[in-house]
Amino acid sequence: MSTREMVLEAAVELLGTQGLRALTHARADEAAGVPRGSASNYFRTRAALLAGVVEWIVREEIAGLDAGQEAPGALPSTVEGLVELLAGTVERLTGPFRVRTTARYILFLEGTHDDDVRRPLLAGRAGFRAFAEAALAALGAADPALAATAVMALGEGLIMHRLAVDPDADVRGAIDAAVRGFVDRRP
């Protein structure tokens, strides 16, 4: 792993475990176990460090979308497949990747008044939303855009609930009900 990657992973860990104020160049160097000044060598300002962290998180989460899929990048061909993909994603983001997800939420809050932080986070989210809309359209949702908006909002709410309230909360039932509500039009 490169020194740059080590700095970024340490920065994410600091954000996700100690919050935004904990993120400094010196603390990122220390947490990464790299020579002092390494973080500032790659990221000259705090804003540049935050931008690097945002880009790293977005890249890692997009790469993680294919986890558990039989055909990475392919749209699920069944409701069950989409529910499994979405529920598995929520569970990974709030389980093994909990710290990274917490860091992402901290950055979203920072982005409410910093467009340089917000813009790449929203771009990454747009990729997930486009995937959800395409999957729901392929499964026959009458209004795939509305369905994707609702399913994304549900997923984000479930992530926040698992991060802040109940780390073991079931997600599959709610996701299954939402997806089926949009694609199952039986009376």
Confidence of residue 116 (pLDDT cuts 50, 70, 90): confident
| Token couple for 91 | 């569970």
The full DSSP string for the chain is: --HHHHHHHHHHHHHHHH-GGG--HHHHHHHHT--TTHHHHH-SSHHHHHHHHHHHHHHHHHHHTTTT-SSTTPPPSSHHHHHHHHHHHHHHHHTTTHHHHHHHHHHHHHHTS-HHHHHHHHHHHHHHHHHHHHHHHHTT-SSHHHHHHHHHHHHHHHHHHHHHT-TT---HHHHHHHHHHHH----
Q: Convert the pLDDT of each residue in 17-39 to its tens digit.
A: 999 999 999 999 999 999 999 99
Question: Is 0.75 surpassed by the pTM of this model?
Answer: yes
Average pLDDT of the chain is: 92
Could you give the CA distance from residue 5 to residue 38 in angstroms, rounded to a whole number?
Answer: 11
Confidence of residue 150 (pLDDT cuts 50, 70, 90): very high
Give the per-residue pLDDT at 124: 85
Tokens 């705090």 sit on residue: 46
Tell me phi and psi for residue 34, to 5 degrees.
Answer: -110, 165
State the CATH class of domain 54-183: mainly alpha
Q: Convert the pLDDT of each residue in 59-69 to its tens digit.
A: 888 777 666 55
Could you give the CA distance from residue 93 to residue 163 in angstroms, rounded to a whole number?
Answer: 9
* Domain edges within the chain: 1-44, 54-183
Q: Convert the pLDDT of each residue in 47-56 to its tens digit.
A: 899 999 999 9
State the CATH class of domain 1-44: mainly alpha
